Structure 1
Amino acid sequence: MTYAVAALVDIDDFMVSEQGRGRSWAHRQLQHADQAVRAATSRRPGATCQPQPPEEWLVLLTGADPEALMSDATALAEEVRARIVRETAWTATVSLGSPSVGSIAAERDARRVNGYKLVLGGDRVIEPQSGGRVAATPPVRIERELTRRVRAGDSNGAAGLLASWVDRCAQDADPQTLRDWLIGQLLFVVDVANRSRLADGSTDWVVTCARLPIEDIITVGDIHERSYLHMWLRETLGRLMPEPPRRDVLALAEAYIAEQYTDPGLRLATVAEAVNASPFYISHLFAAERRTTFLRHLTGLRLRHARRLLSTSTLPVDAIATRTGYASAKALRSAFGRHVGCSPTEYRRTGFRPGA
């Protein structure tokens, strides 16, 4: 009897790197990767290599001895992975199926094994996996924080929270269980974000499914790489969640900072919690709408207050530091030197007017 073993060669983080570096760069790297896979395969008599665009190759080996065939496939997988690392800017994962009767069954098993990349990570050879599903309860629950971010319309924050949750849960689940958990969380997001309710307060799923891209949620079953999953989460939650006007959230943040900037312990996380948004989202708004950062905005408020007190009062510098949100006179002097160009004492004496 003739057996077949399939090795599925999969470039790690392909879509993320293509998006970041550009298609031309990715195309050149793919050419190098193709040469690497073919060079390794050509050294194995009877081995065939079939490109699976854009970033996969299916290598098939056949033989009569399943143990010898598996050993040869493992050696080939290690060689292919090493060549890709050496000859391209990428890493690769090679997933090996079990010896099977027929190439179709061999490929099917290799793709099943490739699903474990979602939980094991890339840059490795993944050998045939077996075993049943694990416990049905995720080890970490995030529904309370997820609800807060969804109701704030913070799709980026919700996507980041889900991505971190997937990373934490991956070590406790097989791929299918992890996907089931994630689909459950995505349906939870839809339920929280949804405004179509029945008389008893429950979600009107008939209206919801007609309006929202529920079918997109199901496509998570085709994802086997966490970097792409993170990107997919950002895109999908952006469609699932209605986002409130960005300027409203920023205005709330600025108003809170204006009230609290004299507190030396004021932090971005404190502001984000106060306005029911994520720190990442607040930072994004400051950059997009104000072309500045949270810290620069906060420093500006504190220094304006300090300059006013230096010009209109006789308070000592340490007292002014306390009243303007600095933990010490030294901290105030440091901020003055960096942003104003003189010390508080010099500013008080001259008003920092050239020639004064």
Structure 2
Amino acid sequence: MHRVAVIAVDGVAGFDLIVPGQVFGTAHSVGKAPGALLGAPLYEVKVCGRPSELMVTGVGGADLFRLSALYDLAEAVDADTVVLPGMPMPGVEPAAGPAVATTAELAEVLRVVSAAYERGARVVAICSGAFVLARTGLLDGRRATCHWTDLAAFATNFPAVHVVPDVLYVQDGRLVTAAGAATGTDVCLHLIRQDFGSAVADDVARHFVATPQRDAAQAQLVVHKAPHPGGDSLEPTMRWMREHLGEPLTLADVATHAGVSPRTLNRRFREQAGTTPMQWRLRLRIHHAQELLETTTLSVDQIARHCGFGTAIALRQHFARLVHQSPLAYRRSVRANKNGSGNGSRSDG
């Protein structure tokens, strides 16, 4: 199984701490009933920290409860994926709250994370965990993000890091940073999809009654305006777009279905989905292509036509840009992982 170590220190954010164990722990090899958790577990998740009790916190650093980590911090060195939840630390003071963990504890966390990365692990930082990851120096010259309330402090504290604002999460090689809160679920689903394919990730999402895939480039802070008296939800139009995924729809076609101008459609889509109609539809098409590559023997040409790309060349171009692999390489990697002969975390590209 893919081994995941979630780091726990005094003052760790409760939501960030629990989500990885819940999401990764739910991933099973796909059974006959979607969402029914049939098949073998695909991840082994351990919470690693000091054996004595530590405080778990909520919003603003408010104390929630105490727990003791079941596994020693040193065990994280051998993990395939190391997760750094939000954790206030000495010298790292984002808006999340006051420093709680000791300097010695921080030094040990930095040592363990660096050692795990050196031996090939993937490191995931959620919310203010990005501050801790940046302290290792691994993010220097790399792209990263964190919670929108902490972006200015992050950029000030770590000028060598290329801070990417207004996104849900960023993956740069084996380093992944997420905005925090609900994006912890998004990034875990993204990594499950990367490790074991869309069918497994969608199965987990269905079990949690969660959105299978939110675009990583979606804005963190989407301001939802009050609906007009007549109603302006785009859900009927989005459902229609899903049902006509393989057809060559234009922006004008979508606007006509929604009963608005293209300009109004773009504005409402950004308000409600955080992206444009055509980008949203492109992501759906790529996601469907991933499913077909995993679950069928259709050729790339057949999949391209089925998903509305028209030609294999168009599918390959969009697929490479969004998935960072060719369609056939993606099919091979997913099959290798499902057969136990590959590991999605052992690549820095």
Whether TM-score is above 0.5 comes out as: no
Specify which structure has the higher proportion of strand.
2
Larger radius of gyration: 1
Instruction: Provide TM-score, normalisation by structure 2.
Output: 0.31
